[in-house]
Amino acid sequence: MPIYLYLDRGTLFHRFHPTVKVFGLFAVFWTVFWLDHPVALAPVGALLLGVAHASRSWANFRRLSWLLLLIVFFTSLVWILFFRVGAPLAKVGPLWVSRASLEFGLGRGLKLAELIATTIIFLSTTKVEEFSYGLRALGVPYRVGFAITLAFRLAPLFIDSALEVVAAQSLRGHEFRRGGPLSRLRRYAPVMIPVFMGALRKANNMAMALEARGFGHSPRPTSFAEYRFTRSDLFALIALSVLASASFLAYYLGWAGIKIR
Protein backbone atom coordinates (compact mmCIF):
# COMPACT_ATOMS: atom_id res chain seq x y z
CA MET A 1 0.00 0.00 0.00
CA PRO A 2 1.42 3.46 -0.90
CA ILE A 3 2.44 5.31 2.24
CA TYR A 4 2.21 8.87 0.87
CA LEU A 5 -0.77 11.01 -0.05
CA TYR A 6 0.90 12.04 -3.31
CA LEU A 7 -1.24 11.21 -6.36
CA ASP A 8 0.63 11.10 -9.64
CA ARG A 9 -2.00 12.87 -11.80
CA GLY A 10 0.08 15.29 -13.90
CA THR A 11 -2.37 18.23 -13.58
CA LEU A 12 -1.36 21.88 -13.75
CA PHE A 13 -1.21 21.91 -9.94
CA HIS A 14 1.20 18.98 -9.98
CA ARG A 15 3.40 20.80 -12.50
CA PHE A 16 3.77 24.01 -10.50
CA HIS A 17 7.30 24.85 -9.34
CA PRO A 18 7.92 23.49 -5.80
CA THR A 19 8.58 26.99 -4.52
CA VAL A 20 5.16 28.09 -5.76
CA LYS A 21 3.51 25.07 -4.12
CA VAL A 22 5.14 25.72 -0.74
CA PHE A 23 4.43 29.44 -1.06
CA GLY A 24 0.84 28.55 -1.95
CA LEU A 25 0.51 26.40 1.17
CA PHE A 26 1.64 29.21 3.42
CA ALA A 27 -0.34 31.84 1.47
CA VAL A 28 -3.62 29.94 1.94
CA PHE A 29 -2.82 29.40 5.62
CA TRP A 30 -2.19 33.12 5.93
CA THR A 31 -5.43 33.89 4.10
CA VAL A 32 -7.53 31.65 6.30
CA PHE A 33 -5.82 32.87 9.46
CA TRP A 34 -7.23 36.42 9.13
CA LEU A 35 -10.81 35.35 8.37
CA ASP A 36 -13.31 34.46 11.11
CA HIS A 37 -16.77 34.93 9.62
CA PRO A 38 -18.17 31.92 7.71
CA VAL A 39 -19.30 34.22 4.89
CA ALA A 40 -15.74 35.49 4.51
CA LEU A 41 -14.38 31.95 4.63
CA ALA A 42 -16.90 30.54 2.16
CA PRO A 43 -15.25 31.91 -1.03
CA VAL A 44 -11.92 30.45 0.04
CA GLY A 45 -13.68 27.12 0.65
CA ALA A 46 -15.25 27.27 -2.80
CA LEU A 47 -11.86 28.06 -4.31
CA LEU A 48 -10.30 25.06 -2.52
CA LEU A 49 -13.09 22.76 -3.75
CA GLY A 50 -12.32 23.94 -7.27
CA VAL A 51 -8.61 23.30 -6.81
CA ALA A 52 -9.31 19.86 -5.30
CA HIS A 53 -11.36 19.02 -8.37
CA ALA A 54 -8.86 20.43 -10.86
CA SER A 55 -5.93 18.70 -9.15
CA ARG A 56 -7.90 15.42 -8.99
CA SER A 57 -7.25 15.03 -5.26
CA TRP A 58 -10.69 13.63 -4.36
CA ALA A 59 -9.28 10.17 -3.65
CA ASN A 60 -7.39 11.53 -0.65
CA PHE A 61 -10.39 13.54 0.52
CA ARG A 62 -12.45 10.34 0.45
CA ARG A 63 -9.68 8.51 2.32
CA LEU A 64 -9.59 11.14 5.08
CA SER A 65 -13.24 12.17 4.99
CA TRP A 66 -14.14 10.64 8.35
CA LEU A 67 -11.28 12.48 10.05
CA LEU A 68 -12.15 15.73 8.31
CA LEU A 69 -15.85 15.52 9.19
CA LEU A 70 -15.22 14.46 12.75
CA ILE A 71 -12.80 17.28 13.48
CA VAL A 72 -14.91 19.93 11.79
CA PHE A 73 -18.15 18.79 13.42
CA PHE A 74 -16.80 18.65 16.95
CA THR A 75 -14.83 21.89 16.61
CA SER A 76 -17.95 23.72 15.41
CA LEU A 77 -20.09 22.17 18.12
CA VAL A 78 -17.70 22.99 20.95
CA TRP A 79 -17.29 26.62 19.83
CA ILE A 80 -21.02 27.08 19.25
CA LEU A 81 -21.76 25.86 22.78
CA PHE A 82 -18.92 27.53 24.61
CA PHE A 83 -18.48 30.84 22.81
CA ARG A 84 -20.95 32.49 25.19
CA VAL A 85 -21.26 35.94 23.68
CA GLY A 86 -24.29 37.93 22.40
CA ALA A 87 -28.00 37.60 22.99
CA PRO A 88 -29.26 34.00 23.34
CA LEU A 89 -31.26 32.65 20.38
CA ALA A 90 -32.09 29.31 22.00
CA LYS A 91 -31.53 27.82 25.44
CA VAL A 92 -31.50 24.19 26.70
CA GLY A 93 -30.64 23.90 30.41
CA PRO A 94 -27.27 25.53 31.02
CA LEU A 95 -26.49 25.57 27.26
CA TRP A 96 -27.43 28.40 24.95
CA VAL A 97 -26.49 29.67 21.53
CA SER A 98 -26.41 33.15 20.09
CA ARG A 99 -26.04 34.39 16.53
CA ALA A 100 -22.44 35.31 17.34
CA SER A 101 -21.67 31.87 18.77
CA LEU A 102 -23.23 30.21 15.73
CA GLU A 103 -21.18 32.34 13.35
CA PHE A 104 -18.02 31.92 15.36
CA GLY A 105 -18.45 28.14 15.74
CA LEU A 106 -19.21 27.60 12.07
CA GLY A 107 -16.31 29.90 11.18
CA ARG A 108 -13.91 27.89 13.35
CA GLY A 109 -15.09 24.62 11.79
CA LEU A 110 -14.80 26.02 8.30
CA LYS A 111 -11.38 27.48 9.03
CA LEU A 112 -10.11 24.12 10.26
CA ALA A 113 -11.64 22.33 7.28
CA GLU A 114 -9.91 24.75 4.90
CA LEU A 115 -6.56 24.30 6.61
CA ILE A 116 -6.90 20.50 6.36
CA ALA A 117 -8.14 20.70 2.77
CA THR A 118 -5.18 22.90 1.80
CA THR A 119 -2.79 20.39 3.35
CA ILE A 120 -4.48 17.47 1.57
CA ILE A 121 -4.29 19.26 -1.79
CA PHE A 122 -0.66 20.18 -1.15
CA LEU A 123 0.33 16.62 -0.23
CA SER A 124 -1.70 15.18 -3.13
CA THR A 125 0.18 17.32 -5.64
CA THR A 126 3.65 17.62 -4.07
CA LYS A 127 6.31 14.94 -3.77
CA VAL A 128 8.40 14.81 -0.61
CA GLU A 129 11.45 15.88 -2.66
CA GLU A 130 9.57 18.88 -4.04
CA PHE A 131 8.53 19.89 -0.55
CA SER A 132 12.14 19.75 0.59
CA TYR A 133 13.29 21.69 -2.51
CA GLY A 134 10.58 24.31 -2.02
CA LEU A 135 11.50 24.83 1.63
CA ARG A 136 15.15 25.27 0.68
CA ALA A 137 14.24 27.76 -2.02
CA LEU A 138 12.34 29.77 0.60
CA GLY A 139 15.44 29.88 2.80
CA VAL A 140 14.77 27.00 5.19
CA PRO A 141 18.09 25.17 6.00
CA TYR A 142 18.48 21.85 4.12
CA ARG A 143 18.59 19.72 7.26
CA VAL A 144 15.43 21.31 8.67
CA GLY A 145 13.60 20.86 5.37
CA PHE A 146 14.74 17.26 5.13
CA ALA A 147 13.66 16.52 8.70
CA ILE A 148 10.18 17.90 7.97
CA THR A 149 9.83 15.78 4.85
CA LEU A 150 11.15 12.74 6.71
CA ALA A 151 8.38 13.20 9.27
CA PHE A 152 5.86 12.75 6.45
CA ARG A 153 7.75 9.62 5.41
CA LEU A 154 7.75 8.18 8.94
CA ALA A 155 4.25 9.04 10.14
CA PRO A 156 2.44 6.28 8.18
CA LEU A 157 5.02 3.71 9.35
CA PHE A 158 4.39 4.64 12.98
CA ILE A 159 0.63 4.51 12.47
CA ASP A 160 0.94 0.99 10.99
CA SER A 161 3.12 -0.06 13.87
CA ALA A 162 0.68 1.41 16.44
CA LEU A 163 -2.24 -0.49 14.87
CA GLU A 164 -0.27 -3.73 15.10
CA VAL A 165 0.58 -3.07 18.75
CA VAL A 166 -3.10 -2.38 19.55
CA ALA A 167 -4.03 -5.71 17.89
CA ALA A 168 -1.27 -7.56 19.79
CA GLN A 169 -2.38 -6.20 23.17
CA SER A 170 -6.09 -6.78 22.45
CA LEU A 171 -5.24 -10.43 21.79
CA ARG A 172 -3.87 -10.57 25.31
CA GLY A 173 -7.23 -9.50 26.68
CA HIS A 174 -6.31 -5.85 27.17
CA GLU A 175 -9.26 -3.47 27.12
CA PHE A 176 -8.47 0.12 26.33
CA ARG A 177 -11.85 1.61 27.14
CA ARG A 178 -12.29 0.67 30.75
CA GLY A 179 -12.38 3.14 33.66
CA GLY A 180 -12.24 6.93 33.89
CA PRO A 181 -10.15 9.30 31.75
CA LEU A 182 -6.99 8.92 33.85
CA SER A 183 -7.35 5.15 34.02
CA ARG A 184 -7.92 5.02 30.25
CA LEU A 185 -4.79 7.07 29.71
CA ARG A 186 -2.81 4.61 31.83
CA ARG A 187 -4.30 1.72 29.88
CA TYR A 188 -2.55 3.04 26.76
CA ALA A 189 0.88 2.37 28.29
CA PRO A 190 1.04 -1.15 26.75
CA VAL A 191 0.65 0.56 23.36
CA MET A 192 2.72 3.67 23.88
CA ILE A 193 5.80 1.87 25.19
CA PRO A 194 6.23 -0.59 22.27
CA VAL A 195 5.38 2.16 19.73
CA PHE A 196 7.84 4.57 21.32
CA MET A 197 10.60 1.94 21.54
CA GLY A 198 9.91 0.89 17.94
CA ALA A 199 10.01 4.52 16.81
CA LEU A 200 13.36 5.04 18.53
CA ARG A 201 14.75 1.89 16.90
CA LYS A 202 13.41 2.88 13.49
CA ALA A 203 14.74 6.43 13.81
CA ASN A 204 18.12 5.07 14.85
CA ASN A 205 18.25 2.70 11.85
CA MET A 206 17.20 5.48 9.53
CA ALA A 207 19.77 7.91 10.87
CA MET A 208 22.45 5.23 10.41
CA ALA A 209 21.34 4.54 6.84
CA LEU A 210 21.24 8.28 6.07
CA GLU A 211 24.78 8.84 7.28
CA ALA A 212 26.00 5.74 5.44
CA ARG A 213 24.48 7.23 2.25
CA GLY A 214 26.51 10.43 2.68
CA PHE A 215 23.88 12.68 4.31
CA GLY A 216 25.77 15.82 5.37
CA HIS A 217 28.85 15.13 3.20
CA SER A 218 28.52 18.32 1.17
CA PRO A 219 27.46 21.64 2.73
CA ARG A 220 25.54 22.36 -0.50
CA PRO A 221 23.78 19.21 -1.71
CA THR A 222 22.77 19.27 -5.36
CA SER A 223 19.37 18.28 -6.72
CA PHE A 224 18.61 15.42 -9.07
CA ALA A 225 15.21 16.84 -9.91
CA GLU A 226 15.13 19.75 -12.31
CA TYR A 227 12.40 22.36 -11.90
CA ARG A 228 11.76 25.22 -14.30
CA PHE A 229 9.94 28.37 -13.32
CA THR A 230 7.29 29.00 -15.99
CA ARG A 231 4.76 31.70 -16.79
CA SER A 232 2.03 29.67 -15.01
CA ASP A 233 4.15 29.75 -11.88
CA LEU A 234 4.39 33.52 -12.11
CA PHE A 235 0.61 33.89 -12.51
CA ALA A 236 0.04 31.52 -9.59
CA LEU A 237 2.39 33.54 -7.40
CA ILE A 238 0.58 36.75 -8.29
CA ALA A 239 -2.85 35.20 -7.65
CA LEU A 240 -1.75 33.79 -4.30
CA SER A 241 -0.26 37.11 -3.27
CA VAL A 242 -3.49 38.91 -4.20
CA LEU A 243 -5.52 36.37 -2.20
CA ALA A 244 -3.31 36.72 0.86
CA SER A 245 -3.37 40.52 0.65
CA ALA A 246 -7.14 40.62 0.16
CA SER A 247 -7.66 38.50 3.25
CA PHE A 248 -5.50 40.79 5.36
CA LEU A 249 -7.30 43.81 3.93
CA ALA A 250 -10.68 42.26 4.81
CA TYR A 251 -9.43 41.68 8.35
CA TYR A 252 -8.00 45.19 8.57
CA LEU A 253 -11.27 46.73 7.40
CA GLY A 254 -13.23 44.58 9.84
CA TRP A 255 -15.15 42.70 7.09
CA ALA A 256 -14.04 39.25 8.12
CA GLY A 257 -14.75 39.31 11.87
CA ILE A 258 -17.75 38.31 13.99
CA LYS A 259 -20.00 41.16 15.05
CA ILE A 260 -21.40 40.77 18.55
CA ARG A 261 -25.10 41.63 18.70
Residue number with CB closer to other proteins (198 or 257):
198
CB of 150 to other proteins, least distance (A): 7
CB of 117 to other proteins, least distance (A): 21
Residue number with CB closer to other proteins (226 or 254):
226
Residue number with CB closer to other proteins (39 or 207):
207
Instruction: In whole angstroms, give the CA distance from residue 18 to residue 133.
Output: 7
Residue number with CB closer to other proteins (190 or 257):
190
Residue number with CB closer to other proteins (39 or 164):
164
39-45 contacts at long range (C-beta below 8 A, 24 or more positions apart)? 40/107, 40/250, 40/255, 40/256, 41/107, 41/110, 41/111, 41/114, 42/110, 44/114, 44/243, 44/247, 45/110, 45/113, 45/114, 45/117
Binding site for other proteins (CB under 8 A): 1-4, 6, 8, 127-129, 150, 153, 157, 161, 164-165, 167-175, 189-190, 193-194, 197-198, 201-202, 205-218, 220-226
Query: Among 238, 221, 216, which Cα is nearest to 132's?
Result: 221
CB of 233 to other proteins, least distance (A): 20
CB of 15 to other proteins, least distance (A): 15
Q: Which amino acid is at 247?
A: S
CB of 215 to other proteins, least distance (A): 5
Residue number with CB closer to other proteins (167 or 253):
167
CB of 36 to other proteins, least distance (A): 37
Q: Which amino acid is at 238?
A: I
